[in-house]
Amino acid sequence: MIILSVNAGSSSLKFTGFEMPSEDVLISGVFERIGIDNSFYTIKVNGEKIKKEVELPNHKVAFEILIKELMDNKIVESLDEIKGVGHRIVQGGAYFDKTVIADEDAVSKIDELASLAPLHNHAAIVGINAAKEVMPNAVQTVVFDTAFHQTMAPCEYMYAVPYAWYKEYGIRKYGAHGTSHKYVSQRMNEILGRNDTKLITCHIGNGASISAVKDGKCVATSMGLTPNAGLIMGSRCGDMDATVGMTPKEMDIVLNKQSGLLGISGVSSDSRDIEEGIKNGNERCILAQEMYVKRIVEYIAKYYVLLGGCDAIVFTAGVGENSISTRKEILNKLAVLGIKVDEEANNVRGEERKITTDDSAVPAYIIPTNEELMIAKDTYSL
């Protein structure tokens, strides 16, 4: 059967079409500048990438064009062949610990939680409503970035602030990138051939988080109430003192958009630019990388102790999959745990493989993430 994985933004719509259960990708792409002048979309089908300029007044029109492309490319002959549509939702709060049907109750709760992800949850609802209108017979599901982390214990997700904040306003750690952590931890268990594992999964991209996963369930994660917690990221500061003297608006702009690698280096939020700066002897780029790696190592070490050992460390996402030097630096700083890098194996980008020696006390792997496939698998299961 055909399943669509979609991610609706306020002016965009990313999509991937899968044949399930074979998991073959049939089509993928993105509609951009929806509701804005000069809108367009790109699709990739049969190995060919095509860009088309078209008027996109709203998400419904984007879905209608997507259906036409599916038919024109003979992926489907009728609308009824699309059996399910899985929608990525950033914030599911404490309501959702798994993927569910996008019924009226679920959509109402997503709307209620919009204050925790104002840019994302409202846009997702627009996408859900548009998809229901265009594909009324398909099963619509909602897949939450926060769901995988709902297995954390209260001592892990609570903040040491007045308890009333939690009861009245839902102030607690929710985490993010849950769909990615779920996917790579499941894949790691497949590689190890068992589910009774202790894993540390490192989703390291422009946004980044690390999770401790025991027996397939998340027991801790580095992101918090918002994505601006835990690791140093491209432009986010990560963990820091809460008493910095700024207004809420200044805090939002500076700590989310002007901090992290960008703020320290003064060069870029992109890890590749930092690496280039290091080659050129830029001292602030060197400092930024040192701080960046140090924070990652600290979280891995902390989760190693929390789990009481570790069966595997997983690197995924943009930096985790592609930065040879960053992976090497992280693992070398973990040598005290008996971890040994296989430099030849590590000399790769975006490829699934083990990157530690056979006598390493803890194996480390690269596993490219596939959140779209995870959405499709959850939707297919429902």
Q: So which residues are the catalytic ones? A: 145
Residue 198: beta bridge partners? 214
> Largest alpha-carbon pair distance within the chain?
60
Instruction: Look at strands 24-32 and 139-144 and give their pairing.
Output: unpaired
Upstream peptide bond of 57 is cis (omega within 30 degrees of 0): no
Q: Are the C-beta atoms of 87 and 6 separated by less than 8 Å?
A: yes
Phi first, then psi: give them for residue 224, nearest 5 degrees: -120, -130
Enumerate residues 6+ apart whose C-beta is below 8 A from 145. Answer: 88, 89, 90, 91, 92, 175, 176, 177, 178, 179
The residue type of 128 is I
The pairing of beta strand 312-316 with beta strand 364-366: parallel
Q: How many Cβ atoms are within 10 Å of 379's Cβ, its own excluded?
A: 27
Integer Cα distance of 228 and 257 in angstroms: 10
CB 27 within 8 A of CB 376: no
CB 129 within 8 A of CB 140: no
**Rounded-to-integer distance, Cα 196 and Cα 198, Å:** 7
| Pair 61, 69: CB distance under 8 Å | no
CA 182 to chain centre: 10
For residue 49, what are the β-bridge partners?
44
Residue 341 bridge partners (DSSP): 356
